[in-house]
């Protein structure tokens, strides 16, 4: 008669597969509520988007790709795959959330508050990122 319980080997295989699947899933990036609600004080304009694009080319494209698809030349070296910024799920985030993530960083995503110390420049970058939607 066969046992109704999993064999120890089956349990180990299940745990390994479940762990591997879980590692592929990005962990949620929780942004403090006050930052989520922060409005972008820099009006979207050609000048702002152009300034943001320059910052993108210098600081972001190597990982996130030229058009924000997460396919930059350094992306394969990272532990986590950079997000596709053209997707609706990414674009649905508030400007304040994007500002927070750029400024603070996490894991493979570095903090840019020292590399880009002027708040207006990070807001320009947020304005540029908004142009990457499909």
The number of residues making up the chain comes to 134
Residues sharing a CB contact under 8 Å with residue 32, sequence separation 6 or more, in sequence order: 100
For residues 87 and 133, give the distance between their C-alpha atoms in angstroms, rounded to a whole number: 6
For residues 37 and 94, give the distance between their C-alpha atoms in angstroms, rounded to a whole number: 7
**Cβ distance 40 to 126 under 8 Å?**
yes
> Which two three-digit tokens encode residue 41?
């004080």
- Return the exposure string of 17-28: e unless at least 16 CB atoms fall within 10 Å of the residue's CB, then b: eeeeeeeeeeee
Residue closest to 133 by CA, chosen among 29, 49, 57, 36: 49
Domain limits, the chain: 31-132
CATH topology of domain 31-132: Cytochrome Bc1 Complex; Chain D, domain 2 (1.10.760)
Q: Model-level pTM?
A: 0.80
Q: Give the pLDDT of the chain (134 residues) as one tens digit per residue.
A: 555 556 766 656 656 565 555 445 568 999 999 999 999 999 999 999 999 999 999 999 999 999 999 999 999 999 999 999 999 999 999 999 999 999 999 999 999 999 999 999 999 999 999 999 87
């Amino acid at each position: 008669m066969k046992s109704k319980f999993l064999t120890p080997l089956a349990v180990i295989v299940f745990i390994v597969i479940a762990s591997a699947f879980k590692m592929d899933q990005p962990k949620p990036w929780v942004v403090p509520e006050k930052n989520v609600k922060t409005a972008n004080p820099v009006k979207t304009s050609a000048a702002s988007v152009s300034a943001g694009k320059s910052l993108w080319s210098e600081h972001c494209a190597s990982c996130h790709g030229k058009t924000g698809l997460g396919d930059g030349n350094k992306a394969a070296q990272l532990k986590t795959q950079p997000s596709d910024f053209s997707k609706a799920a990414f674009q649905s985030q508030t400007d304040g959330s994007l500002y927070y993530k750029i400024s603070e960083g996490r894991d493979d995503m570095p903090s840019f508050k020292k590399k880009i110390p002027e708040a207006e420049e990070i807001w320009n970058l947020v304005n540029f990122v908004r142009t990457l939607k499909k």
